[in-house]
Structure 1
């Protein structure tokens, strides 16, 4: 027996739980992730590694490939940023105010989750076409949405908004209102209270929602191809280009583009997760 145990200061030992322990759960986790995620991704990189660096560079620097990657990543970032703002407004209204139809509005947020992507694409195309309800109103002003990059942006905003709302909503619901009241009692303005009290608490959730919305938008296919027009170098997304290369039996081109998208997406998500951890650490020190 150690001196700490004799003195009565040793931490209590953890008793064995009823549920399986660390070894079994970790083994099942690694097995599942390997079968579903790691092995398919490894196959993708192994296939790409068969190519020479010159061949990979030729595929990636092709004009059509660069434009497709630019459209996919550029519009995905813009859509995620817009959803960050729109999601904040929607969450604030749902959490802080009680109004008729609030539960219905809360349920409508989940429609992009349940709606098949092809159905969403057809609905958006019908709505924003030049003879559609909204497209007809925008046409006299020279604004064309369907079959343009703007239509892609609309589709990405549609499918990404729920990720921000559902990520931030529980955090804002659990926020202690007494902190706001204390800040107001000390003379803080509304903007100061939001910036100094509310925002630091919900910022990690906002960053998580942004990352999820971006990741969803980058890989979106079904809802985009109907409204995009799919014109090469104009409104063609990278996932569609991968499918086209597979249909042309150009597997090297397809795997190279897919691997590039995977690496770029992982790098951006790594940066966003780093910002999230920094924000959480900063909030913990502040508290």
Structure 2
């Protein structure tokens, strides 16, 4: 018979299998691992408990208190949904919703943005807010620094900014993907008030958004091709790649590149040469 303690142990094993020492700042001694992910002793160290105590919880031989559950949730980097599920398996009342920390972009990431040169790059946060960008991104899209921080949201701009609409050769496709991305974000955190506010705003202002939202389309695309018509340098065909931050899964680095020597590559170089020296910005 499968018990909730057994399920709790299976959930903890599955979650630690998804993590690596490097993701959590732990040293890796290079010893081959029999199974992927973190070892029990590494989880115990992160959760500040003995290996034996953690092992008994994972094996279903010991109940976990609220304090222990919270330590495990922090150690295993559980999101709100995973944290609630952990409490449910342990037979505890749902935990209070944690206040979301202010989003910060680490200095090395800011340096990376600037060192990408003529390649436009953005850092997007948990709500698709534009947290940081380089001069090439400002030259391609628009000067985000001129916008109030609360309006620096990529999906909001795709639907509301005339400049962004005109920039995209296939605006409907870009906006549809934006709606699908937002649908994925709300699925992961349906109670997030900022996400609900953004969905309500776009639903009220855009019939296209309402149509795509009601269709329940979703997207997890991490790469693709973007076509733009820039008012200064003309048509651009760029490859778009997205990477999730290893130490903050809510942050994504988006980089646009062109085939070396192509007309689009040359156009990007011309475009960014006019804005050389403009530093990347961090907004939150």
For the criterion TM > 0.5, the same-fold answer is no
The alignment's TM-score, normalised by the length of structure 1, stands at 0.23
Question: Which protein is bigger by CA-based radius of gyration?
Answer: 1
Q: Counting strand residues as a fraction of each chain, which structure ranks higher?
A: 2
Instruction: Give the structure with the larger helix fraction.
Output: 1
Higher relative contact order (CA 8 A, sep 6+): 1
TM-score normalised over the length of structure 2: 0.23
